[in-house]
């Protein structure tokens, strides 16, 4: 009989030190900062046994989504190079554009809908959206779906 998995959302400041060190070690391994588990646990001051005990049970909050696809809609000023700046921003953040749809501009503004693979994103979806809205020519942007 398979045991039902339960998940909890817990503030990081109340986690035990062994859990936070496991998280740090996993980040080092995933980013390529270190090559081996031994290097990672030595750097953070954690035993290998503690790392192996917790490593498969700790995930960043956004990693719990079965698929990491976010659909965003935004208005874009109809000026040469603005869409290119948006696409460069997505790539710079580690995102991968899966689909993009842009309407014919009306009164100098085009509606854009874009689905982005967030699997390797270096920022949270909130930070991503905030950064997107800072790009010249991007008007109101919002997340319309995740899955």
Q: Could you tell me the pTM of the whole model?
A: 0.55
Domain at 69-146, CATH from 1.10.620.20, 3.30.70.260, 3.50.90.10, 1.10.3720.10: 3.30.70.260
> Residue 108: its pLDDT value, please?
94
Query: Percent of the chain at pLDDT above 70?
Result: 90
At residue 63 the predicted structure's pLDDT band, cuts being 50, 70 and 90, is: low
Both tokens assigned to 13:
């400041």
Backbone conformation region of residue 45, classed left if phi is above 0, alpha if psi is from -120 to 50, else beta: left
CB-CB contact of 142 with 112 (8 Å): no
Cβ distance 77 to 105 under 8 Å?
no
Mark out the alpha helices in 11-147 (DSSP H runs): 17-31, 37-44, 48-54, 82-92, 125-133
| Model confidence band, residue 3 (pLDDT cutoffs 50, 70, 90) | low
Condensed to tens digits (0 to 9), the pLDDT of residues 96-127 reads: 999 999 999 999 999 999 999 988 888 888 88
Domain boundaries, the chain: 12-64, 69-146
pLDDT confidence of residue 66: 44
Give the confidence band of 62 by pLDDT, cuts at 50, 70, 90: low
Q: How confident is the model at residue 19 (pLDDT cuts 50, 70, 90)?
A: very high
Q: What is the mean pLDDT of the chain?
A: 88
Mean pLDDT confidence for 46-59:
89
Dihedral of CA 76/80/83/89: which sign?
Answer: negative
Between residues 5 and 28, the one the model is more confident about: 28
**Contact status, residue 62 vs residue 118, Cβ threshold 8 Å:** yes
Count of CB atoms situated within 10 Å of the CB of 144:
12
* CA distances for 5 relative to 95, 106, 115, angstroms: 29, 50, 30
What CA–CA distance (Å, rounded) separates 44 from 39? Answer: 9
Over residues 6-22, the mean pLDDT reads 86
* Segment 8-19 mean pLDDT: 87
Scanning the structure block, which residue is given the tokens 């809908």? Answer: 113
């Amino acid at each position: 009989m398979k045991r039902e998995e339960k998940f909890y959302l817990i503030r990081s400041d109340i986690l035990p030190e062994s859990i936070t060190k496991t998280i740090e070690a996993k980040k080092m391994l995933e980013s390529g900062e270190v090559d081996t588990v031994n290097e990672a646990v030595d750097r953070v001051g954690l035993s290998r046994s503690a790392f192996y005990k917790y490593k498969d049970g700790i995930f960043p909050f956004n990693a719990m989504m079965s698929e990491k696809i976010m659909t965003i809609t935004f208005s874009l000023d109809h000026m040469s190079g603005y869409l290119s700046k948006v696409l460069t921003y997505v790539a710079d953040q580690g995102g991968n554009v899966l689909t993009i749809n842009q309407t014919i501009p009306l009164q100098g503004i085009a509606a854009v809908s874009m689905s982005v693979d967030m699997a390797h994103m270096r920022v949270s979806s909130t930070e991503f959206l905030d950064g997107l809205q800072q790009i010249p020519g991007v008007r109101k942007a919002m997340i319309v779906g995740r899955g």
